[in-house]
């Protein structure tokens, strides 16, 4: 096991006069420390200030805080290119990893400097991992040691949806069947006109949308008597919610923000043993089309949902369960670690590149 310091910056606070850093160590994960940074709202748009204070806060924590000396010569792992100027080459790191899970520059309100910072990070990283095939095709031009790893899945956790002793969540059990369900973030990546059309197509269906609403105005979500926005739910509740779904939905919009996504929920849905219908997101088509019904239009999406609700394609369900068994997080982590060990060996023996 590795000691991990996870640094995150949360939304600015208008009541703060200066930046703050708070840490916690989850009881169930003794090797994990979460350091949460927060900035005053009036300084949030001053990128030089934010970069400097980010570095100062983290540097103080690892050198003078209660865990001083516990994170010396780390492997520095980036998810957010915006953090690169604050930390890249400044933490006595022995290795730099960029784990690119989204094309963040395509998201609404992306900072204009993000692209430049990402190129800086890509060129400096010893290893780059991408969460989608299209992301890999895009990022490998900047880094020769770039690798695509698709999603993993906690098979046992989501497999509880298939267990006889798992009760259907009450809020799903009380809905009229069939229940067409989604879980995940409700944001700019969703096709809201499609969701509304799905509800309108058959008033006897129940459409259950589970997840927090982010970066969109909740007041603008479509409203229908059979469309239920259930909000955020705990990860532990997902199997009991999914057990009540008759069809699992991936109603993503086809736009810049979804061009590079490889939805983790595809394998999680598969582990529940439920049929899945998705829009034609490129990585879903490439990676999951043998299992997922993929629609090429809104009308086709409704048609495929109708078929999925009426009959179970047992062969597709079995293929999905096989795909789940081949994509455990433990197996993926083992492969990632091999790439890290190889990169460390190349840095220590630069003339003996494998």
pLDDT at residue 106 in the model? 83
Both 183 and 224 in one domain: the answer is yes
pLDDT at residue 256 in the model? 85
Residue 353 has pLDDT above 50, yes or no: no
Both 114 and 235 in one domain: the answer is no
71 CB-near residues (< 8 Å, 6+ apart): 3, 5, 62
Q: Band of the pLDDT at 146, cuts 50, 70, 90? A: very high
Q: Band of the pLDDT at 228, cuts 50, 70, 90? A: very high
Both 288 and 178 in one domain: the answer is yes
Residue 304 has pLDDT above 60, yes or no: yes
Both 189 and 303 in one domain: the answer is yes
Give CA separation, 298 vs 44, 227, 260, 277, in Å. 40, 17, 20, 11
Segment 276-298 shows an average pLDDT of 94
Q: Is residue 315 part of a domain?
A: yes
Both 290 and 189 in one domain: the answer is yes
pLDDT at residue 354 in the model? 42
How far, in Å, CA of 176 to CA of 155, rounded?
Answer: 28
Residue 185 has pLDDT above 70, yes or no: yes
- The dihedral built from the CA positions of residue 139, 141, 142 and 143, taken in this order, carries a sign that is positive
32-38/4-9 β-pairing: parallel
Tokens of 164: 């006889």
Residue 57 has pLDDT above 90, yes or no: yes
Strand partners, 100: 130
Lowest mean pLDDT segment, chosen from 47-61, 99-113, 245-259, 320-334:
99-113
Q: Is residue 18 part of a domain?
A: yes
Segment 321-332 shows an average pLDDT of 92
Residue 108 has pLDDT above 90, yes or no: no
Q: Band of the pLDDT at 151, cuts 50, 70, 90? A: confident
Q: Is residue 354 part of a domain?
A: no
Segment 23-37 shows an average pLDDT of 94
Give how far the C-alpha of residue 178 lies from the chain's centroid of Cα atoms, to the nearest Å. 28
Contact 32, 6 (CB under 8 A): yes
Q: Band of the pLDDT at 133, cuts 50, 70, 90? A: confident
70 CB-near residues (< 8 Å, 6+ apart): 3, 62
Residue with tokens 């003078």: 64
Residue 352 has pLDDT above 50, yes or no: no
Residue 1 has pLDDT above 60, yes or no: yes
| Domains in the chain, number | 2
Both 125 and 193 in one domain: the answer is no
Q: Band of the pLDDT at 37, cuts 50, 70, 90? A: very high
- CB atoms inside a 10 Å sphere around CB 231: 12
For 118, the domain range is 4-152+330-348
pLDDT at residue 80 in the model? 93
Q: Residue 253 sits in a domain of what CATH number?
A: 3.40.50.2000
Measured in residues, the chain has a length of 354
pLDDT at residue 4 in the model? 96
Q: Is residue 353 part of a domain?
A: no
Both 259 and 287 in one domain: the answer is yes
pTM of the model: 0.77
Contact 81, 118 (CB under 8 A): yes
**283: exposed, middle or buried (Cβ count in 10 Å: 0-12, 13-18, 19+):** buried
Both 116 and 180 in one domain: the answer is no
Residue 350 has pLDDT above 90, yes or no: no
**337: exposed, middle or buried (Cβ count in 10 Å: 0-12, 13-18, 19+):** exposed
Both 193 and 74 in one domain: the answer is no
Lowest mean pLDDT segment, chosen from 61-65, 254-258, 289-293, 299-303:
254-258
Tokens of 102: 């989204």
Alpha helices in 26-141 (DSSP H): 47-64, 84-87, 114-124, 133-139
How far, in Å, CA of 172 to CA of 290, rounded?
Answer: 28
How far, in Å, CA of 155 to CA of 152, rounded?
Answer: 9
Tokens of 172: 């799903």
Both 185 and 310 in one domain: the answer is yes
Instruction: Give me the chain's average pLDDT, please.
Output: 93
Up-side HSE of residue 265: CA atoms within 13 Å toward CB?
Answer: 22
67 CB-near residues (< 8 Å, 6+ apart): 5, 23, 33, 61
- CB atoms inside a 10 Å sphere around CB 154: 18
Residue 243 has pLDDT above 90, yes or no: yes
Q: Which candidate, 247, 236, 234, places its Cα nearest to that of 208?
A: 247
Both 205 and 308 in one domain: the answer is yes
Both 161 and 241 in one domain: the answer is yes
Q: Which candidate, 83, 82, 84, 75, places its Cα nearest to that of 124?
A: 84
């Amino acid at each position: 096991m590795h000691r991990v310091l996870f640094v995150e910056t949360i939304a600015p606070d208008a009541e703060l006069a200066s930046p703050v850093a708070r840490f916690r160590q989850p009881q169930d994960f003794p090797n994990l420390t979460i350091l949460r940074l927060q900035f005053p709202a009036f300084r949030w748009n001053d990128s030089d200030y934010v970069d400097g204070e980010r570095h100062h806060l983290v540097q103080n924590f690892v050198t003078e805080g209660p865990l001083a000396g516990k994170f010396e010569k780390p492997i520095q792992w980036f998810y957010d290119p915006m953090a690169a100027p604050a930390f890249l080459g400044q933490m006595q790191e022995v290795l730099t990893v960029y784990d690119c899970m989204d094309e963040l520059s395509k998201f609404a309100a992306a900072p204009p400097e993000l692209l430049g910072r990402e190129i800086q990070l890509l060129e400096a990283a010893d290893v780059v991992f991408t969460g989608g095939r299209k992301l890999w095709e895009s990022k490998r031009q900047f880094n020769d040691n770039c690798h695509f790893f698709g999603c993993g899945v906690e098979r046992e956790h989501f497999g509880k949806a298939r267990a006889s002793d798992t009760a259907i969540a009450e809020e799903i059990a009380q809905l009229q069947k069939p229940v067409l369900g989604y879980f995940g973030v409700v944001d700019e990546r969703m096709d809201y006109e499609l969701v509304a059309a799905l509800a309108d197509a058959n008033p006897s269906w129940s459409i259950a949308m589970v997840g927090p609403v982010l970066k969109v105005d909740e007041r603008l979500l479509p409203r229908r008597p059979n469309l239920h926005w259930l909000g955020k739910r705990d990860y532990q509740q997902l199997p009991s919610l999914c057990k009540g779904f008759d069809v699992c939905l991936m109603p993503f919009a086809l736009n810049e923000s979804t061009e590079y996504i490889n939805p983790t929920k595809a394998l999680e849905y598969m582990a529940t043993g439920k049929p899945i219908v998705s829009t034609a997101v490129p990585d879903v088509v490439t990676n999951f089309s043998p299992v997922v019904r993929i629609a090429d239009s809104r009308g086709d999406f409704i048609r495929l949902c109708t078929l999925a609700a009426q009959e179970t394609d047992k062969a597709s369900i079995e293929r999905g369960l096989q795909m789940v068994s081949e994509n455990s997080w433990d197996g993926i982590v083992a492969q990632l670690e091999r790439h890290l060990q190889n990169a460390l060996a190349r840095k220590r023996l630069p003339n003996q590149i494998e």
